[in-house]
């Protein structure tokens, strides 16, 4: 089986010294020196002043929204075209998702569209734009949107660490899950130039305890801390990638191989200039069912996935109102298939995936 995604892992030799140092010092949890070092590396990569590590991007989104002290049950605008965790985080923060369509040119919610949605529903208190499958957003447009409207913005940039910069005024949450380009096995990072905001998230991630206190709870929080072992893995991974640039070069090479092998008639996910793909998302021709193609390719030993499908408004646990139609969301979701993509793919594997896809397409179009 050609796997859909594989971690871009450092070697045991890369990780071992960091884990050994944690064991020797006895600091395995609760924000030790390795967590502090990984936070520094994430700040440098994202170009921001402040960062707090959390145990997942999903919890990071939840805590970031909680830190804004928004009214309970208030509507939060977000794209219907994203992974369900985005909506789950909104709900767990005690807020109500409201779904919006995305732009065909970017697969993302735009500030211009958000202006119209906020005019249609003035009760909206926040927006959660999503970096679709790791593609970066123009965040200065979103910080301008917040200044203009007063509506708070928290960006779900789960797969975009390495692509997405964090300009002043932005609040961005990254994932460091095993399948992401920068991995700590599990984990996430909440980044912002707002020191007070990040400090609040840090307290919420530590049960709501005030910094330096183990007795005084200022607000209800949870346990979303990252362990020093996870931080050790993340440091080793980021140092290795920074030293060699290997992950970006290899992912770009895999992308080039796909561009050569896929041929005409298929559309790849649009990306901003300079972005490195975190996934290989391809739009099939109109009228071709991606599920049928996935089944055909699975029989040939190729793992695929239908990314961001079905749209969030159709999930029983996530049903919520949509503002207007979700025409673009549905048009993309009904044609989208995710192909194997990771930094370790060889050109021969890419050729085999492309051959399998062509064979499957030939069967269903006969």
Residue-level pLDDT at 244: 60
Task: Give percent of the chain with pLDDT exceeding 90.
Answer: 84
Tens digits of residue pLDDT in 177-208: 998 989 999 999 999 999 999 999 999 999 98
For residues 338 and 305, the answer to whether their CB atoms sit within 8 Å is: yes
Q: Would you place residue 1 in the very low, low, confident or very high pLDDT band (cuts 50, 70, 90)?
A: very high
Stretch 162-175: mean pLDDT: 97
Taking the CA atoms of 35, 41, 42 and 44 in sequence, report the sign of the dihedral they define: positive
Task: Give percent of the chain with pLDDT exceeding 70.
Answer: 96
Residue-level pLDDT at 264: 80
Tens digits of residue pLDDT in 325-364: 999 999 999 999 999 999 889 999 999 999 999 999 998 8
Domain ranges across the chain: 12-241, 245-364
Stretch 77-93: mean pLDDT: 97
Tell me the pLDDT of the chain averaged across its residues. Answer: 94
Residue-level pLDDT at 218: 63
The helix (H) or strand (E) run that includes residue 338 is: strand 336-339
pTM as predicted: 0.96
Taking the CA atoms of 125, 132, 58 and 173 in sequence, report the sign of the dihedral they define: negative
Select the more confidently predicted residue: 210 or 344.
344
The CATH topology of domain 245-364 is 3.90.1150
Stretch 214-230: mean pLDDT: 84
Q: Would you place residue 209 in the very low, low, confident or very high pLDDT band (cuts 50, 70, 90)?
A: confident
Residue-level pLDDT at 243: 63
Residue-level pLDDT at 263: 83
Tens digits of residue pLDDT in 27-65: 898 889 999 999 999 999 999 999 999 999 999 999 999
150 class by beta-carbon count within 10 Å (0-12 exposed, 13-18 middle, 19+ buried): exposed
Tens digits of residue pLDDT in 225-268: 999 999 999 999 998 777 666 778 889 999 999 999 998 889 99
Residue-level pLDDT at 366: 58
Residue-level pLDDT at 269: 96
Select the more confidently predicted residue: 42 or 209.
42
Beta strands in 146-204 (DSSP E): 152-153, 155-156, 171-175, 188-192
Task: For the domain covering 12-241, report its CATH number.
Answer: 3.40.640.10
**Number of Cβ atoms within 10 Å of the Cβ of 62:** 27
Distance CA 44, CA 31 (A): 19
Tokens representing 209 are 């305890």
Asked if the model's pLDDT at residue 214 lies above 80, the reply is: no
Residue-level pLDDT at 293: 97
Asked if the model's pLDDT at residue 128 lies above 70, the reply is: yes
Residue-level pLDDT at 220: 80
Tens digits of residue pLDDT in 151-168: 999 999 999 999 999 999
Distance CA 206, CA 200 (A): 10
Tens digits of residue pLDDT in 6-19: 988 888 999 999 99
Residue-level pLDDT at 9: 82
């Amino acid at each position: 089986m050609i796997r859909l995604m594989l971690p871009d892992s450092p070697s045991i030799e890369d990780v071992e010294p960091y884990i050994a140092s944690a064991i020797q010092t006895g600091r395995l949890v609760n924000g030790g020196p390795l967590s502090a070092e990984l936070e520094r590396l994430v700040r440098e990569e994202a170009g921001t002043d402040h960062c707090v590590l959390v145990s997942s991007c999903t919890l990071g989104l939840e805590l970031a929204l909680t830190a804004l002290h928004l009214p309970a049950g208030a509507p939060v605008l977000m794209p219907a075209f994203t992974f369900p965790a985005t909506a789950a985080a909104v709900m767990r923060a005690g807020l109500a998702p409201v779904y919006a369509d995305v732009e065909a040119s970017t697969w993302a919610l735009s500030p211009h569209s958000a202006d119209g949605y906020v005019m249609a529903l003035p009760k909206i208190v926040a927006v959660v734009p999503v970096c679709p499958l790791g593609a970066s957003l123009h965040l200065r447009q979103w910080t301008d949107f917040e200044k203009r409207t007063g509506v708070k913005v928290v960006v779900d940039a789960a797969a975009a660490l390495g692509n997405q910069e964090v300009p002043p005024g932005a609040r961005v949450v990254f994932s460091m899950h095993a399948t992401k380009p920068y991995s700590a096995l599990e984990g996430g990072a909440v980044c912002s130039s707002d020191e007070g905001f990040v400090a609040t998230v840090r307290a919420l991630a530590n049960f709501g305890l005030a910094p330096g206190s183990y007795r005084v709870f200022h607000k209800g929080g949870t346990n979303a801390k990252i362990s020093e072992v996870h931080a050790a893995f993340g440091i080793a991974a980021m140092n290795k990638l920074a030293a060699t640039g290997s992950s970006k070069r290899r992912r770009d090479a895999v992308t080039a191989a796909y561009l050569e092998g896929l041929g005409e008639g298929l559309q790849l996910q649009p990306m901003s200039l300079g972005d490195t793909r975190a996934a290989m998302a391809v739009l099939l021709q109109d009228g071709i069912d991606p599920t049928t193609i996935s089944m055909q390719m699975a029989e040939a030993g190729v793992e695929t996935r239908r990314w961001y499908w079905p749209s969030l408004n159709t999930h029983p646990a996530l049903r919520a109102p949509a503002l207007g139609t979700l025409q673009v969301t549905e048009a993309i979701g009904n044609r989208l298939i995710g192909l194997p993509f990771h930094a370790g793919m060889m050109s021969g594997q890419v050729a085999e995936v492309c051959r399998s896809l062509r064979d499957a397409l030939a069967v269903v179009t006969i």
